[in-house]
Amino acid sequence: MDRTGWRKSSFSGTGPDNNCVELAATPSAIHLRESDAPQAVLATTPPSLAAFIRAAKAGEFDRLS
């Protein structure tokens, strides 16, 4: 995974306190990690990630926090 092109939102800053979720695509999966814990990587499929993003935008997870 070290050679994977990790990307983060342009809304994230560049300082040490600007941790965020980073994404990387490979031919078989989408990988996610937190910039402050890059050794912990999750993998999912593009359709599953798209469904998660739709649900988050629709507010389906608003009551979890």
Which residue, 10, 16, 60, 54, is CA-closest to 36?
16
Q: What is the pTM of this model?
A: 0.71
What is the tens place of the pLDDT at every residue in 14-60? 666 777 889 999 888 999 998 888 899 999 999 999 999 999 999 99
Rg (CA), the chain: 13
